[in-house]
Structure 1
Amino acid sequence: MLGEVSVRLDGRVLSVANTGAPLDESGVQALAALRASNKSAGTVGRYGVGFTAVLSVSDEVELRSTSGSVVFSSRRTRSALAQFDGADPGADVPALRLAWPTANLPVAGATSEVVLTLRDNVDATALLGHMVREAPDLLLELPSLASITVGGREFRRHEHALASGLTDIAIGGDHWWQFVSGRARWLVRVVDSVVRPSADDVLRAPTRSDEELSIPALLIADVAMQPDRRRVMPGASLAEVAVGYADFVAALPPKQRLAMVPLPGFARSEVDSALREHLLAELREKPWLPTVGGKDRAPNRAAVVPGLSDDLAELLADIVDGLVVPELSGPRWAHALATVDTHRIGLARIAELLSGVVREPAWWARLYAALEPLAVDALAAEELASIPVPLSDGRTVTGPRTVLLGHDIGDVLGVDWTRLVHPEAAHPLLSRLGAKTATAVDLLSDPALRAEIEDLDHDDPAAAADLSTVVLALAARGDPGALPSWLGELLLPDVDGELRGADELLLPGAPLTAVLVDDAPFTSVDSAFAERVGETALRAVGVGWGFTVLRAELPTGPDHDLDDEDRWWDTLDDDPETIDAVRDLDLVDEERWSAALTMLATDPSTRPLLADRGGYTAWWLRHNAELDGQILGLLREPDDDTFTGLLDAVHHPESAVFAAALAAPAVDSPELAQLLLDRLADAHRQPSPAAIMRTHTLLGAAAAARVLDLDELHLPDHVRAVTGAVIDPADALVLDKPWLSAAVPHDHLVVGSLDTGEALADLLDVSMASAALRSVVISTGRPLSWGEDPTAVLAHATLGRPLPQGEVVVHPRLTVSLTGAFDTEMTVPWWVDEEGTTHVSASWAAATWGVADVR
């Protein structure tokens, strides 16, 4: 039966009653002689040390029991000693050595009662308050006590066994979990089912000693103590006390166990230091640490991944042996885990353990997602540098830095010419770890793919089908205009089941068929195959519908199998950065160019190329394509009047689109120069004087710039005068000095630019007017400087022209004598003689001074 203790204060008398075992004679002898209890184990008051504490508050102690009562009194003991040996009545005496019997019995219901008469210097109220505070500890320390009542306030212990092996002890509103091992009881306070480890305490054996402890649990131990029970007996075995502590920790809820690990710190006593060592040794080697999968492990045989999440734990459960549960893997528990020697697993070790692991691509994506929160800096990224990555072709490689992440390529599989991450495994973490991003165009532009296409065997349809499936799936997602032209070498099945390059095939019903020559080297792709893979993908790799565009980056020469490519290349000043050219223009039937030009002008992939005058496409059309029997480059755009009357206007609804393939408003080729010379000599052509002059100006400029090789041109039998007259070259003169226009009959005058008159004369093999005529001014005039005549000054100021320097001769009537090509005398408005002096007629000068300075 458990004992009950009751404490009452009546004035200056304090009584403590209990229901324990009654007092017997040997008990009184023990208290008087040894100050130690003779009670058996498990009995309240067994150690007896607590009784001597009464002397701290009282000199008169009465011990009442149902079996008999005694009184211990300092006063009576001192009096008795004085009578016996004459001792000083005021001397200190051992109050508990002599006991006097008394007839007083304990209060009703109690077996024993201690009654103390408090000394005058004792604060009774404070004493009672102290006992109130100590009551719960006594109930924990003395399991034979069921309750303690102090001044009417009851403290009662309630015990409840838990399934884990713990005992829940409740005292008032406070709870403790207790675990009993061989020589110790371990207790920890609990609030809302969560343990609250002790910060500091003392060894209890069973009541408080002076041995300070810093372990997380309250320890009530059966350990050898010195007689005053304040210190542990030297040599006492603390290792035996520590046995079972790991079992206590294992009985706690898994998430709370690490809270009971003694953390490193300064020991509070020698006992504390030794006990901590024994506890940690037990904790390191005994299984109590919760690991993934529900099994407890010894910490030194477990591993912790800092920051482990539930998802990562699930994925690593069968890869990392003894993985500590996520709830105990956060930074809060890192110190405790390190204290018990739990192995820390870093990202580099995880990557190492994953080597050789075979999983589905989606599993890897989940793993990357679970690892992403841990890859917080460059060091973490470096540690994951060797993590495996599954590829789209079924391989698994080491390290994200060597792989490509597909961008907008869908779920394309089987890319074996590069390290493309399997679409189901793709995750942003790989990019952070060094993976590059590749579009469909990037993948299809890889030289490794080109090599694979070139190595395809025409007799291996299975290999061709495997590769074409992947390439076409990517091509359907890429920009056709950005794909390399060599994809046209991809082998695809034609209507006869034979393998042919994609650029040798046409889609069923392709409009290109209608404009090609009948013997064009094209056939149709297999219709069932075309329907299965789609028109978009087939056109992207070069299967024809309309015209196909070839694109080459950084070309180094005319090696792209384009018609007349050598000639076009010779027109370039430098190697181009790219070539964009329409293929197979040479296969267009010459009678079908009108329809072909419409196709080129309306197709978005070819339309831009028609506007590039220096590009291959416009160049080839200018030199080879025909409309109405004429080469395009010798036809003019209807809105361009540069060569009106000499070149025919093109008649085509899309002419504005392919204007760069028509004649330019300049003479830029020998072919155009030859045609213009011929048309100028053709009397049936009726160009205007302005058109004639523009044409001669442009011919002269081309000759002066050496665009033309005069030896390659065939000069016609006639030339065209500015009036439109077709004349013999021997009768023609090229105007090279402006004043000669008044002297030479206009039907004999060939007019272009005065600046290039000499070049034009060489081109036409016609004399220059200044070389064919000699002149002498035969009239007399009045010389004066330009600045002396107010009319001249005013005229030049009005025209905004600078006033010429030097001398001008003003004639009432200016007459010159000409010899050479023409022998005559004639009146002219102005003239510059062979010495360079300007002569003007008075009437002309008065009206047009501003022209007189032209030389």
Structure 2
Amino acid sequence: MFDTARLRDTVLAAWAASPARFREDANAEEDFALGGYRDRLVVELAQNAADAALRAGVPGRLRLTLADGVLLAANTGAPLDEAGVEGLSTLRVSGKKDETGAAGRFGVGFAAVVSVTDEPSVASRLPSGEIRGVRWSRAETAALVAATPALAGELKGREGHVPLLRLPFGDDAPGVPEGYDTLVRLPLRDQAAEEAVRRMLEEAGPALPLSMPALETVEIEVDGRSRTISAEGWHVVAESGTFTPAQVSELFADRPTEERARPYWEVRWAVPAGRRDGVPRVVHAPTPSDEPLDLPALLIASFPMTTDRRHVAPGPLTDFLVARAAEAYVRLLGELPATPALLDLVPGLMGSGALDAAIRREIIAALPDTPLLPSISDDAGGVSGGVIPGNEARAVEGPAEFLAKIAGIVPGLLPAGWASRHPALTTLGVRRVELADVVDMLSGEAVEDKDPAWWRSLYKALPADDPEAIGAIPVPLADGRLVRGPRGTLVLSPDGGAATSTASSGALSSTLLSGGAGGGSGPGSLDPALLAPLGLRIVHPDAVHPLLLRLGAAEATPRTVLEDPLTHAAVAESLNSADPEPVAQAVLALVDAAGLTAGEAPWLAELALRGADGERYAAGELLLAQGSLAGLIDPEVPFGVAAPDLVEKYGPHVLAATGVLDGFAVVNDSDVLLDPAECDHDLDLEDEWLEAVLDLLPDLDVPPVVREFTAVRDLEYVADWPNALALLSRPPLRAALRPMRVLAAGETVEVPSYTAWWLSRHPVLGGRRPVELRLPTGDPLLFGLYAEAPAGIDEDALTMMGVRSTLAGLLDARGGPEELLDLLADASLEVDRAQLRSLWIALAAVDPDRVGPPEAVRAVRKGMVTVADVEDGPVVVEAPDLLPLVEDRPLVLAPFDLAEALSDVLDLPLAGETVTGVVTSHGAEKPVPPEVRSLLPGAPATYVEHDELLVDGTPVPWRFSEGVVHATGVEGLARGLAWASGQWGDRLAVAALLRDPARVPLLLAEADLDPVTSL
């Protein structure tokens, strides 16, 4: 036992001699416990554990357990000794002042326990194996104070409040868990204290072992749930040193005497491999303070602290450590891999406090001159130029191939991935070179030796997602000139003719090259003057690349001329033009000559055309008077009717190609990249369809491609859905319902077509969405879950639109298993017990990774099918003898051999995981009747008969546990033996046999007559 009586007598005597001393101790303890140390309990326990491990030279382990209103803290390390007891029972006097590396240094940390408990105790196992303990008690302290006449008045004046930790008591029955050296036991004062401790345990994170290196692991167990905290996965940089006497005199002039006795300093930075969730963004010195630190790393440093250990004390020592922290942080950045992730660790300009700002200033001042960034030196494969300071680096957006091409032109060029708009680049002093500026640099001496083939390779690598920035890219011409920008140049095929793309373009190309005049002015003929603005500047054949066409170069074909940006601009401006007729005639002639079909060029819908009323409309706002769509659309939609003379002159097909609505317009495209920047056909909700399709495909480096894209447009305007669906479900529009074939990573995958996807999500079938319905001839297991689809529409078409047909098809569909579980959780839907069993059987075969845990399940409770919330404790039953033990709970029932799989799918426990299933009654071992063994060859030789069989204290008819059948009564024995022998289906026959053994010959004879298929 510790000599606690001496300490108590000494303190009581001091209090009796000076009651003011009693008040001082009480006030100081209250200030520390309820003020500066009110929420530091876990930190202080960890600190004591770390110091104990450091003192003993052993790996520090701390286990914090919260259960039944008690917090236990078990740790390894040096045991509590007499000096330790005295230190814990005093304020502002630490026994660790001479321990290098100790986290504790103020002597008040243990006061944090006062905020949550009135009966703390500490027990330690000595090297001899003896366990000694000490405890403190507010009640016993109050009794001793009350018994001291000189203090009675003080106690009354404080309403009975006494210092808890000043009077230690011996602990007669201490205990320490095996594997640990010390145990702190804190019975929590009340519910509020327990909630506070629970919160502190939840907030505990890697900062504990990182700030206290002697503490290797912290295991936290709350209500049976455990987690372990360690510093694993963190990159740490540490700097430390010892102050010279001169430095101590200069830097510690304003610090207390005991701090000057610790003349050493330490700075550590830690960066996690991933996110730093769970680590407070504050300075650790070494335990958490209230000093905010919004840098993306954890700082642990021996900053001087105020007495409450909440804030860093300003002064020369803090200034010194700020400079060392900045130096260490810069070294940390230099040690990390030179990848773009490094930019996230570069501090911004704004700090979250004075100390944060001071550290940032020091770091930011040093960064631009510090070699941290990689560079590439030439275009021969992007050869590395070494690591350079930020003020020598240049950042250009673009892929690696492009950066390699311009490396010899842009000095100090950062590799691909470093040219983001990250603000850290500015902090590092990196100069951003915009793509347009790089294009400007591609002139003069820098490129005078580059041949046309080099330019083609540059076009291939050039980022093409910003045409404006690269619009002035130089283009080498066949005559040797280098001109700015592809716009106005002409790309010809290798044989000297235009690089055509349609059969109808040959005549136009010949006319262009010969300079001859065009033909007539009617439909099907073109005036070559339409091509004059293009300039006919021919690109050198060795430099030809598709990028030039995208940037404005043109092929001499009706289609490319039609798609020229100037043509687009004329169409877009035609509605605002004083006389749009010439533009309309030119565009309609180009559409005719190019042979465009409806939906092929959606942008043409902006072309201004005359309506039958003489007013001006966009083509997409006009209907053909005789078209089938005119009778299907909502009459409230403001459409006009195309002028009859335009229909007569150009024909319905040409007007439909410009966007005038005839029947349903169909968009046809090929080799469509499923990329938001590329896939845009001006279809309603096309972006949402694209997102849904991409969700069905794996993440790919290259966008997937739809070989043949077919979609029906203008579905959003339909009002008469019965007639509209009649058209859509028949050829040729039916083709738009069929799944699209997507080429993804070399494999062909079928995905829902745009048209089928759009219809599936809109109320087009009697006011219901197709995905909410089932086929009339569909799987009976879907009855009650889905309404019946209207008759009169082809069932294959309905299936393509999303109408459910089979349970297997539903479960194979993306999100299908979760949809089925949601429907089963809908109490308004009717599901009978046989149907429910079949559905559970089917769901047991689903991959659990495809299903999120449901919030409610359809289950059987007291024989009734019901919907139970997961909070109600539903279980999956895997064995019949467990049924009586869980009969009050919602039960998920399916063939027992599927129970484990169904448990994984539903994320629900098995019944056996929720009960102990222990036989708690006693019985007598009896032999199994030989008549039964003749029917059940695999039955055990004996069983245990109980007058009343109790399992977990509950009366049950039978239990098969640890290979032994326990039973009471004939029915229980029959079931137990049938289950034990693996012949559960014979349980009724066994019961009959047990009641009348004389029937054995008859039962065996009946079994001999079973058909061969039953063997």
Q: Scaled by the length of structure 1, what TM-score is found?
A: 0.42
Normalising to structure 2: TM-score of the pair? 0.36
Bigger radius of gyration: 1
